[in-house]
Amino acid sequence: MAPLVPQGAGVGARIDALADLLEGRGDLAGADVRRALHAAPRHLFAPARGWCAPDGPGERHVIDRDADPDGWWAGVYADASIVTQAADGAGDPAAGVDEATSSLSAPGAVVAFLELLGVRAGDRVLEIGTGTGWTAALLTTLGAEVTTVEVDPRLAETAARNLDAAGVGARLVGGDGAAGEPGGAPYDRVHVTCGVTTVPYAWVQQTRPGGRIVLPWMPEFGDGHKVRLTVTGDGRAIGRLHGAADFMMLRAQRTVLPGAPDGEVVESVTRLDPRVVAHAGVAVAADVPDVMGGERDEGGDRWLVLADVAGTSWARCRVGAGEHAVSQAGPRRLWDEVAAACLRWIERGRPGRSRFGMTVGPEGQDVRVRRG
């Protein structure tokens, strides 16, 4: 919801009210980031029309600068994302109907990642996902030398206009962010504004030893997570999970839950509650990273539905009281794999998100419970 500000308040008062809200919630800690919010005001990067989605309580709604200026200002300086593109440009971003494919991220999420990044004046920063250009502007006002990569040419054009109008000198490059931007490497920081399931190793290769990478890790199963990695001298990046995150995916890593393939269906029952499995999301994602999952309503019942990314196998377990019906098909028994991962998590004492760490190296990505 929008912070309380007097009607007709100036931009500075709106920014301070928003910053106070974020500080009180623990997202904003440093005075430098607060100053950056003033130096790169969010309204300069907001669309004239968009779909406003509060990051918390509040109804989603359209904002329109011409039709309802007061509502537009309130939405721009609320802790809410504003959809700026739908269906990769084929839909109306202000309708709230088609899948959102780009947005002006909610200030709370933006600020939380900036705090994790810990950018210093003079740092060379690679940003993956320019969007409207707001985060690149914030990084620049924090004293960074910013290279920002945007895959969508139309979004890049809009961001370039926004940055130019705001007087921001970030270097904007068109291309697939999964490849990074080797022309500006090595970087002191890498700031990722889109979700990834697997961290591209190019980002590690293009970061100095001791440099940081912050990103929204969006595994195939369960919720998303903020991750901060530090690059080591042996070609790896290591770090921990730091909190919840929900971002649109890097286009190169988009996936959808596939339909059930043909094949013999094996029926069984389980006493393990699928709701407990859902709560073990990060543990399941760590142990069986290629299994996707989500709840669906079918025939009046609620099911936890699973599928492997390759589309070879599927499973579902009915949510309800008592024993739970399980159906599985394909060469893998996905419910059995996911249930085993959940039980291992229970045996470890149900460690929370902050106990998990991530390592990225030439051999791939590893997520597991860390000691200490």
Catalytic residues, by residue number, are 105
Using CA atoms in the order 340, 341, 346, 347, what is the torsion angle rounded to 10 degrees? Answer: 70
**Alpha carbon separation from 349 to 109, 280, 283, 336 (Å, rounded):** 29, 11, 12, 20
Enclosing H/E stretch for 116: helix 107-117
The answer to whether residues 6 and 13 touch, using CB atoms and an 8 Å cutoff, is: yes
User: CB–CB of 229/237 below 8 Å?
Assistant: yes
* Helices 134-141/31-39 angle, 10° precision: 120
CA distances to 75, 90, 94, 153, 194 from 100, in Å:
17, 11, 10, 17, 12
Gyration radius of the chain over CA positions: 22
Rounded Cα–Cα distance for residues 248 and 264 (Å): 35
Helices 31-39 + 11-25 axis angle, to 10: 150
CA distance 126 to 160: 16
Q: What is the β-pairing status of strands 265-270 and 324-329?
A: antiparallel
Q: How many CA atoms lie within 13 A of 27 on its CB side?
A: 21
Number of H helices, E strands in the chain: 10, 18
